[in-house]
Structure 1
Amino acid sequence: MADVIARLAEAVLQEARARGLRIATAESCTGGLVSAALTDIPGSSDVVECGFVTYSNEAKQTMLGVDQRSLAQFGAVSQEVAREMAEGALRQSRAGLAVSVTGIAGPGGSEHKPEGRVCFGLARTGGTTLTETRDFGALGRSNVRRAATEYALRLLHNAAAPTAKA
């Protein structure tokens, strides 16, 4: 899977570079793995603007401007918070494209928010912010984190592609 992630990261950088896009990430359950995948590629500094690792709710609020009411009403693992995280990453940077990841890597979870549930946000300057939730299942902590990293890179790649309408 690491090879898949490396190939995706390279493809994201190529597409973003070709379109003059800078990228920001806002990560919770992946703990910076999306940013790490991108910055593992030499020369990524012309595309990667910054990465926010906002593991705690307080960090989500102070670093990205996530509304405390959203956290209280929907919880950190929600499309609403994923949206605010992605939009906050754009506001707090010079990036034109941002992805956010917030979820339950495990172990554990609940009936309503099971292990493996991850919410994503994708924001683009001047565009509509997209959100979605994926249930990867109880794959174990490291596998959920890898799956979420791969998925976030796919979202970035699709958004940076020439036919993207994000």
Structure 2
Amino acid sequence: SFRDGDTIVVEPFRARPFPVIKDLIVNRKALDRIMQAGGFISVRTGSAPDANSLPVPKPEADRAMDAAACIGCGACVAACKNASAMLFVAAKVSHLGLLPQGQPERYRRVLAMVEQMDREGFGACTVTGSCEAVCPKSISLDFIARMNRDYAVALLRGAR
């Protein structure tokens, strides 16, 4: 909490993958490139009447929706001492990987998105939790653990 007379410092995000454009404006296109690397499904989902043709148990649907709540704001990167994008990537990997439609690309997706995150120059995650604390959508660190499991399985399977 702030008191009357306190000094507040306003500055742009300090992360190499988010270069400053002008004043407080930063380029967050690195997050878009991570999404382009694997944030999609190729299964034909059909039209609206077909939505119920592939039932999803409520607990799995709820977890997928929790992950899908990520708005890609970059607050997690800004708060992290290592400028890691793990919470963002984990949320995006998980929201697709938790649904049946996302299973065909599950392991290729996690490899592609993590590799793109590394190419963009984001730091390594040390699970300090500062990302979770500042996330406006309360994305849980549990998604990072899930993504790490998927990543390990993908490496062992040689998914490409």
TM exceeding 0.5: no
Work out which of the two has the higher radius of gyration on C-alpha atoms and give 1 or 2.
Answer: 2
State TM-score, norm by structure 1. Answer: 0.28
User: Of Structure 1 and Structure 2, which has the larger fraction of its residues in strand?
Assistant: 1
TM-score, structure 2 normalization: 0.28
